[in-house]
Amino acid sequence: MPIRCKRCRAALSEIYIPYARLNLCPDCFLKFYTSKVKRTVEEFKMFRDDDVVGVAVSGGKDSMALLHALKYGFPKLSLKALHVNLGIANYSAHCQAKVEKLVESLDVELHIFDLQKEIGITIGDFKRTPFKDKLCSVCGTIKRHVFEELAIRAKVKVLATGHNLDDIVAIMFNNFLYGQWEQLVRLKPVLPPLAEGMAYKVKPLIKCPENENLLYCLYGNVPFREMECPFSSGTGVKKKARIIETAAGDNPYFKHQLLNRFLELIPLLERNKPQKSFKTCQICGFPSLDQICAYCKRLSLVWRAMGKA
Ligand code: Q46
Ligand code: ZN
């Protein structure tokens, strides 16, 4: 027998939310999702209604759902989309086209940093360096830095990223397993700016499982990339944390429970954390633990490999 939506009790249910034991129709699911994002923003005081907020959009389902949900959940917010074009053949043009389509439909200002145009490299150029086929870690370092730069350019006070519940618990679990306490602390929902003039980092989707982000895009007609990055190794952190998926199969609350316990642990870790003093990178001027930051080190490596340095 068809099941009715538990919220409106009129339409037929198409979506089941196991941890909330909720059967929802598409319209009620979209409302359920945006109000969850709103509640998360409010719970962790991520930003105020009248702030200028940048959203790091890659073109993937998570960040595209985030931009769309913030636009509808916080109509007074001044939203800006920030995108990095990584110069990966076909893939990057595809991602940028999806981002352009979404910002146009939402009437959101878009700021793009094109690696090829601005610094003369693409992520693929790192194949000539010792990173060879392991491009994701260097790609992560480049993106983190460039998003900081874009946030400054776009004059945003807060930078929101699309980290979802599954990513966060998998990374937290791995950091926990290997005793990487500092990295674990960096997963908290709100990170203060590293230096004056830089943005706060917030994770409004920290409580949204990735399948809900996908459903939000599908039911909400939110465009998102349909291609896989050709450099994806497929050995992401989630694959390493398979134990979480196994446990979650028997217990629908498991990921939320893990997240909540980690969030309780973070203040304790912070209290005991040794204070690290940041220097200023001698090349780019960004905060860095060394004289030269990780981003500038990698750039000089790739430029040297390309005969440009
Ligand atoms: S873009 Fe970059 Fe990802 Fe491609 S190289 Fe890896 S990290 S997989 S989201
Ligand atoms: Zn630097």
- Taking residues 238-266, what's their average pLDDT? 88
pLDDT bucket at 261, cuts 50 / 70 / 90: very high
Q: Which of 106-110, 216-220, 237-241, 270-274 has the lowest mean pLDDT?
A: 237-241
User: pLDDT tens across 3-46, in order?
Assistant: 999 999 999 999 999 999 999 999 999 999 999 999 999 999 99
Ligand 1 atom nearest to 229, measured from its CA: 4
Q: How far is the CA of 270 from the centre of ligand 1 (A)?
A: 30
* 123 in contact with ligand 1, CB cutoff 6 A: yes
- DSSP assignment of 136-157, as one string? HHHHHHHHHHHHHHHHHHTT-S
What's the average model confidence in pLDDT over 170-190? Answer: 92
pLDDT in tens, 62-98: 999 999 999 999 999 999 999 999 999 999 999 999 9
Task: Kindly list the structural domains of the chain, giving each domain's residue range(s) and its CATH number in brackets, ordered by start.
Answer: 27-277 (3.40.50.620)
pLDDT cut 70: percent of the chain above it: 98
Phi/psi of residue 113, each to 5°? -115, 110
Residue 51 reports pLDDT greater than 90: yes
Task: Please compute the mean of the pLDDT values over residues 124-148 and round it to a whole number.
Answer: 94
Whole-number Å distance, alpha carbon 235 to ligand 1 midpoint, is 12
234: pLDDT confidence band, cut at 50, 70 and 90?
Answer: low
Q: HSE-up of 147 (CA within 13 Å, CB side)?
A: 25
**Separation between Cα atoms, residue 208 and residue 29, nearest integer Å:** 12
**What is the DSSP secondary-structure string of 26-79?**
HHHHHHHHHHHHHHHHHHTT---TTSEEEEE--SSHHHHHHHHHHHHH-TTSEE
The CB of 139 under 6 Å from ligand 1? The reply is yes
Residue 274: the pLDDT is 72
Pocket test for ligand 1, best of 91, 126, 229 (most atoms within 8 A of CB): 229
- In terms of pLDDT, which residue wins out, 249 or 3? 3
Distance (Å) from CA 271 to ligand 2 centroid: 29
Protein residue whose Cα sits closest to atom 5 of ligand 1: 136
Confidence of residue 272 (pLDDT cuts 50, 70, 90): confident
> Please, which residues bridge with residue 16 across strands?
23
Query: Which atom of ligand 1 has the smallest separation from the CA of 140?
Result: 7
Q: Rounded mean pLDDT of the chain?
A: 94
238 phi/psi in degrees, rounded to 5: -65, -35
Ligand 2 center from residue 246 Cα (angstroms):
41
Distance CA 244, CA 259 (A): 12
Asked whether 232 lines ligand 1 (CB < 6 A), one says: yes
Question: Atom 1 in ligand 1: which residue has the minimum CA distance?
Answer: 229
Ligand 1 centre and the CA of 125: distance in Å? 14
Query: Could you read off the pLDDT of 281-309 as tens digits, one per residue?
Result: 999 999 999 999 999 999 999 999 998 77
Q: How far is the CA of 113 from the centre of ligand 2 (A)?
A: 17
Over pLDDT 90: what percentage of the chain?
81
- Alpha-carbon span 272 to 270, nearest angstrom: 5
- Supply the pLDDT for residue 307: 86
Q: What is the pLDDT of residue 276?
A: 77
